[in-house]
Structure 1
Amino acid sequence: MKRVTGIGGIFFKCDNPEKQKEWYQKHLGINSGDFGGTFEWRLKEDPDHVAYTAWSLFKSDTRYFSPSEKPFMLNYRVENLVELLDALKKEGVQVFDKIEEFEFGKFGWIMDPEGNKIELWEPNDENYFNESK
């Protein structure tokens, strides 16, 4: 079973997301809408498959990263979320019981030993692109 297949997103907290979005657009060229920015790339083994990595800013008081107190959260792309979460649970990893499913993929969460919440995403890249426009 493949586990992580790539980085799905980079998320971090900030005091003023709108001001930060403007700064990142002006100085680094990252265009960011309501849900953040998107970086497009292709799979090495299937170059016709377009994939995406998300970049998003969250208000510093967001509870989305909870119970982690860290100011960031990484999202990793996976091929089979349910199978991976089952395997991780058997290995003693702290797995959150909730799985959320949207048109653009399934999401689950785990914690690493140092309290970093990690989001795992089984993407539907075609629908992700259409939703993020």
Structure 2
Amino acid sequence: MRAWYAEHLGVGSVPYGMWDTQAGAMVFSPFAADTDYFAADRPWMLNLCVDGLDDLLGALHTAGIEVTTNPDWDAPGVGRFARIHDPEGNPIELWESDA
């Protein structure tokens, strides 16, 4: 799993799966149990702040990784979003900030 994250998202490639982020803050923010923001069968979602979202989405698509976008997720002044899943089905939200 660590190799998948390192290859496709550039994270977790150093020992113990740690990484440095320069794109922005990392946030841990639980949602209410009845949220519809992500699938009910997954109690959490990893959100990664990225630079160059379009290029990343192209590379993920080329690697055969399904990418989901929805214009309703994007917010002026906040940024653009896309979602993928890792090989174990864990949801990952990719966020490119407008800031």
TM-score tier, shorter chain, comes to: 0.5 to 0.7
AA aligned to 1:111 is H
Give the CA deviation at 1:54: 2.5
Q: 2:70 aligns with which of 98, 105, 112?
A: 98
Identity among equivalent positions (%) equals: 38
1:113 aligns with 2:93: no
Gaps of 5+ in 1: 7-41, 44-49, 126-133
What residue number does 1:63 align with?
36
AA aligned to 2:38 is F
Give distance in 1, aligned partners of 2:50 and 2:26: 12
Give distance in 1, aligned partners of 2:86 and 2:61: 12
Give distance in 2, aligned partners of 1:60 and 1:83: 34
AA aligned to 2:44 is F
Greater Rg over alpha carbons, structure: 1
Out of 109-118 and 68-77, give the one that drifted further: 68-77
Gaps of 5+ in 2: 1-7, 12-20
Give the secondary-structure state (helix, strand or coil) at the position aligned to 2:54. Answer: helix
Give distance in 2, aligned partners of 1:106 and 1:78: 10
CA contact (8 A) 2:69 2:81 kept: no
CA RMSD of aligned residues (A): 2.6
Give the CA deviation at 1:51: 3.3
Give the secondary-structure state (helix, strand or coil) at the position aligned to 2:27. Answer: strand
- TM-score, length basis structure 1: 0.50
Give distance in 2, aligned partners of 1:112 and 1:53: 19
Moved over 3 A (4+): 3-6
Q: Which has the higher strand share?
A: 1
Give the CA deviation at 1:5: 7.1
Give distance in 2, aligned partners of 1:117 and 1:108: 11
What residue number does 1:78 align with?
50
